[in-house]
Amino acid sequence: MRAIDLFAGAGGFTEGATQAGVHVVWAANHWALAVEAHALNHPATEHACQDLRQADWTALPHASVGVQRRIAKGRRNCGARFLTQHVTGHPGVPLCESIRTITTKDQWALVDGDRYRPLTVRETARAMGFRDSYRWPERATRRDRITGYGNAVAPPVATALVARVAEQIERSAA
Ligand SMILES: C[S@@+](CC[C@H](N)C(=O)[O-])C[C@H]1O[C@@H](n2cnc3c(N)ncnc32)[C@H](O)[C@@H]1O
């Protein structure tokens, strides 16, 4: 089965669709670096770097709240080790639970006792369900990569969705 990926970004949907056995033949996006990352990981797909003339995405709101208060709240909810966000009033997520989608902003952080650090790019990619071998062009910055992963459809979600749609299409063609 073949598919096209509009607003393909850095390739989350294509990743999941490929894992569901669907060949993504064409992918388009207007962000050149994301198209390049997509092409690195999906060389058999034809790529178009172009404006698809959709409505603009509004920027995520930015706010600043006290880190200490948020950490204290997270400790009460989750214990000593948990994930939290830099800029929201997030209650914290224990490490054994999945987090909701990451965002295009560099917001997720790990609290480990009295230490606090942002997630690495690899941890961010894993949180979205990307394979460890997923590649970016060398020049892509941390911000670029987190934007791409934050934009992405989580590959496991795409796999489940595409497998189900493919199954229905095959059943109705039989
Ligand atoms: C939510 S992300 C898509 C993520 C992608 N489906 C994935 O799974 O990784 C939306 C993407 O659409 C792209 N985009 C937004 N407006 C566009 C336009 N007018 N033409 C082409 N691409 C556009 C952005 O660069 C961004 O990468």
Q: pTM for this structure?
A: 0.69
pLDDT exceeds 60 at position 53: no
Local confidence band at 86 (pLDDT 50, 70, 90 cut-offs): low
Name which residue sits closest to atom 14 of ligand 1, judged by CA: 7
Helices (H), the chain: 12-19, 32-41, 67-78, 121-127, 142-151, 155-173
Q: Is 67 helix (H, G, I), strand (E, B) or coil?
A: helix
Which atom in ligand 1 lies closest to the alpha carbon of residue 147? 27
Chain segment 126-170, per-residue pLDDT in tens: 999 999 999 999 999 999 999 999 999 999 999 999 999 999 999
Residue 122: CB partners within 8 Å, gap ≥ 6?
132
% of the chain surpassing 70 pLDDT: 87
pLDDT exceeds 50 at position 47: yes
With the most atoms of ligand 1 within 8 angstroms of its CB, the residue from 33, 51, 144, 151 to mutate is 151
Q: Which of 68-72, 79-83, 103-107, 143-147 has the lowest mean pLDDT?
A: 68-72
